[in-house]
Structure 1
């Protein structure tokens, strides 16, 4: 990845719906050159997907947040579990951990039923030995993630 790729990713983090033409204008490339770079970044896994972000705090729109601790059957060969988790749109982060648990998966869903469905899907994934799930009761600190500049 070069500095232009970093700028493209930074712009997509700000607005994943930006047109290739506008993105090209912002990074000083043609629309076609930007499209080719975005496709390459997707193939290489630097862009794993685009998600819908809905506002929270309005009536009926609060998100259910949960954290799933995942034990994999094989820590070193568990790539298929990671690939499957990346495809779940409600996953906002997935961290590989040291210690007893293998993964910490954080979810934001629009219902408790959806969290339950995701948990059931994750528990049945080939390569997952066990899971432990905790629901967020309240969030005390909610800082935006810092991006590299």
Structure 2
């Protein structure tokens, strides 16, 4: 792979829909040379496909938060797993973990509005044994190695 191939790949990463004519002009090669190079990169498995990354505005995740839950289990035999089935049904909650320490359960939530986050909090407050709910809103995500839906 030479500098021309690198430039072609850079341009395609920016805009997978760029025309071969425009791509040829940008990298200073003929259309046939660019077409041949793209075909070669496809055959070698360097280019696996051409994609459009689409986010529907109404489905865009803007708010991410962690919710720390504490339950009053002194008067009940319920444990975290008994709450999990109910919590699983609440849209926007992506994962739930029972954890050690002062907090009983940690939830991770993704919503598109603050109102939806507040609705989740209100639904959780309906759990009779819940006595404390602390919200930690994500300000910056530095990296994430987990795969999302």
- The TM-score normalised by the length of structure 1 is 0.53
The structure with more radius of gyration: 2
Aligned to 2:49: none
Aligned to 1:142: 144
1:66 aligns with 2:68: no
Shift, 1:115, TM fit: 0.2
Indicate the SS of the match to 2:78.
Answer: coil
- Determine if contact 1:80/1:127 at 8 Å carries over to the other structure: no
Match of 1:95 among 91, 97, 110: 97
Aligned to 2:78: 77
- Deviation above 6 Å: which 4+ runs of structure 1? none
Q: After superposition, where does 1:1-149 map in structure 2 within 5 Å?
A: 61-74=60-73, 77-78=78-79, 79-145=81-147
After superposition, the CA RMSD in angstroms is 2.5
State the alpha-carbon separation in 1 of the partners of residues 61 and 124 from structure 2: 23
- Determine if contact 1:91/1:106 at 8 Å carries over to the other structure: yes
- Determine if contact 1:81/1:126 at 8 Å carries over to the other structure: no
Aligned to 2:38: none
State the alpha-carbon separation in 1 of the partners of residues 110 and 131 from structure 2: 23
Indicate the SS of the match to 2:103.
Answer: coil
